[in-house]
């Protein structure tokens, strides 16, 4: 059996086996170096006997002559004290008479990012007209969505960066706050049927300018340009922070649309991001425009389906009226482009809420995560489904992963609190 490494959780405790940092409900617990080394050894070999001789070798080596039995006993005593464990009825550390000890609690490996993580700050609107804010906001949201589809990087959700719109804070400080490896910032100038996008990537620790590019395009090509920008950023980040990363293959080009359709799509995205009844109502108007202009526009169909789902889920319209339409639009989107995570996520919700088909919902939400590994909504819903089937440990791994992608947003943290309450971890909630 391979030794466990990295960050793990057991009960209400979290332990970083590399740094020797032990926490309970977010509070760091004090444990002296030798007991901590013994705890890390036992946890890394969880379920397996660990001989006292192995502990002696870890703490003192073979050439040091001390009363190591007393030393080992003291270390185990301190471990049990900090964990609230008892030798007579152990929950964590079991004594094996004449041999040593065994860590007996179930261990969950903390899901971490093997890939570099970035945040996309809200793009600036270089037009003097505040009425053009929708274009910059829509471009920002679309870029985050495109980056979320690329497995080589992880991208922080838009909700966690909204408060940074127009911020003058240093990028290094922002990167530290969000726990990311790099920050993307940019600006948009929209004049008539033309758009100019500028973007730059700053890598943290140490702060360095890694990439910058400007793009001039017709409004009708702005969605295709977004994919080009996302791939350029992801390639730069991956190569800079993970040398040897394979070249990121280009994604399928977005189907061409008219300038009017692209405008309506970006308007709808910007309105939906307001997460209000008024915003949803305005978004629906833009979707109706899109349906008339481009009835087979898969991106628009998927977002329209999500809009109708939100309308019913948040109680702004009877679910019996909007859910069937949401499902129909999502199926139509998938028929035109099976690579859209948003459409699969809507289908997952409809499989559960309309058809009560949990297996189908599981398949669709896993497909959504496969297509868009950084989609926090998909991870959130997946954790709910895992709870439904009694896989609470796996559900909490999804919640913790979701919080890493959404460190500063209110709703995901509220959801995480509800999940902790649901499984009885009241202190963490």
The CATH number of the domain holding residue 347 is 1.25.40.10
Place of tokens 């702060």: 207
Question: What confidence tens digit (pLDDT) does each residue in 172-217 have?
Answer: 788 888 888 889 999 999 988 899 999 999 988 777 888 899 999 9
Range of the domain at 387: 274-422
Q: How far apart are CA 167 and CA 189, in angstroms?
A: 19
pLDDT at 387 over 90: no
Q: What is the CATH number of the domain that holds 90?
A: 1.10.10.10
For residues 94 and 217, membership in a common domain is answered with no
pLDDT of residue 232: 87
Write the DSSP string, 31-58.
--HHHHHHHHHHHHTTTSEEEHHHHHHH
Query: Do 165 and 236 fall within a single domain?
Result: yes
If asked whether residues 126 and 151 sit together in one domain, one would say yes
Question: Cβ–Cβ contacts within 10 Å for residue 251, how many?
Answer: 14
70 or 329: which leads in pLDDT: 329
User: Rounded CA gap, 277 and 303, in Å?
Assistant: 16
Q: Do 322 and 231 belong together in one domain?
A: no
Say whether both 30 and 101 belong to one domain: yes
Residue 215 contacts residue 227 (beta carbons within 8 Å) = no
Evaluate whether 103 touches 93 at the Cβ level (below 8 Å): yes
Assess contact for 198 and 186: CB atoms under 8 A: yes
Query: Which of 25-29, 143-147, 195-199 is the most confident on average?
Result: 195-199
- From residue 397, how far is each of 24, 103, 178 by CA, in Å? 16, 21, 19
Strand, coil or helix: 20: coil
Q: How many CA atoms lie within 13 A of 302 on its CB side?
A: 19
Query: What pLDDT, on a 0 to 100 scale, did the predictor assign at position 2?
Result: 44
Q: Is the peptide bond before 206 cis (omega within 30 degrees of 0)?
A: yes
Over residues 274-325, the pLDDT tens digits come to 888 899 999 999 999 998 999 999 999 999 999 999 999 999 999 999 999 9
pLDDT band at 332 (very low <50, low <70, confident <90, very high): very high
Q: Do residues 85 and 146 share a domain?
A: no
- Give per-residue pLDDT as tens, 243-275: 665 555 555 666 778 999 999 999 999 999 888
End residue of a domain, out of 198, 220, 241: 241
Report which of residues 424 and 386 the model is more confident about.
386
In a domain, 2, yes or no: no
Instruction: Please name the residue ranges forming H helices in 61-181.
Output: 68-83, 133-148, 171-178
- Residue 248 counted as domain residue: no
* Mean pLDDT value across residues 40-51: 91
Q: What is the mean pLDDT of the chain?
A: 85
Number of domains in the chain: 3
Higher pLDDT, 345 or 61: 345
């Amino acid at each position: 059996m391979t030794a466990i490494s990295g960050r793990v959780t057991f009960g209400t405790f979290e332990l970083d086996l590399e740094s020797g940092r032990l926490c309970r409900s977010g509070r760091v617990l004090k444990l002296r170096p030798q007991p901590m080394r013994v705890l890390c050894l036992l946890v890394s070999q969880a379920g397996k006997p660990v001989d006292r001789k192995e502990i002696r070798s870890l703490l003192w080596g073979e050439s040091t002559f001390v009363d190591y039995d007393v030393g080992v006993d003291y270390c185990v005593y301190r471990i049990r004290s900090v964990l609230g464990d008892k030798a007579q009825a152990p929950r964590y550390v079991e004594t094996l008479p004449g041999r040593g000890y065994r860590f007996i609690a179930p261990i969950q490996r903390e899901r971490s990012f093997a890939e570099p993580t970035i945040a996309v700050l809200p793009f600036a609107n270089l037009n003097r007209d505040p009425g053009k804010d929708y274009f910059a906001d829509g471009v920002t949201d679309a870029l985050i969505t495109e980056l979320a589809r690329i497995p080589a990087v992880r991208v922080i959700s838009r909700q966690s960066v909204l408060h940074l719109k127009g911020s003058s804070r240093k990028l290094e400080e922002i990167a530290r706050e969000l726990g990311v490896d790099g920050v993307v910032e940019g600006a948009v100038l929209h004049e008539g049927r033309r758009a100019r996008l500028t973007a730059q990537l700053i890598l943290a620790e140490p702060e360095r300018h890694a990439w910058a590019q400007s793009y001039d395009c017709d409004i009708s090509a702005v969605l295709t340009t977004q994919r080009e920008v996302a791939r350029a950023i992801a390639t730069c980040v991956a190569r800079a922070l993970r040398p040897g990363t394979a070249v990121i293959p280009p994604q399928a080009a977005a189907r061409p649309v008219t300038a009017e359709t692209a405008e309506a799509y970006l308007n709808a995205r910007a309105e939906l991001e307001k997460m209000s009844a008024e915003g949803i109502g305005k978004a629906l108007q833009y979707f109706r425009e899109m349906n008339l202009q481009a009835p087979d526009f898969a991106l628009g169909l998927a977002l329209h389906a999500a809009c109708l789902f939100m309308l019913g889920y948040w109680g702004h319209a009877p679910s019996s009226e909007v859910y069937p339409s949401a499902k129909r639009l999502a199926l139509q989107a998938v028929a035109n482009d099976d690579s859209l995570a948003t459409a699969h996520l809507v289908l997952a919700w409809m499989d559960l809420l309309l058809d009560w088909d949990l297996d189908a919902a599981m398949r669709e939400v896993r497909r959504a995560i496969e297509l868009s590994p950084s989609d926090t909504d998909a991870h959130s819903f997946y954790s709910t489904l895992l709870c439904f089937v009694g896989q609470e440990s796996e559900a909490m791994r999804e919640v913790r992963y979701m919080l890493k992608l959404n460190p500063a947003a209110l709703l995901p943290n509220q959801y995480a609190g509800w999940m902790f309450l649901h499984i009885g971890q009241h202190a963490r909630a």
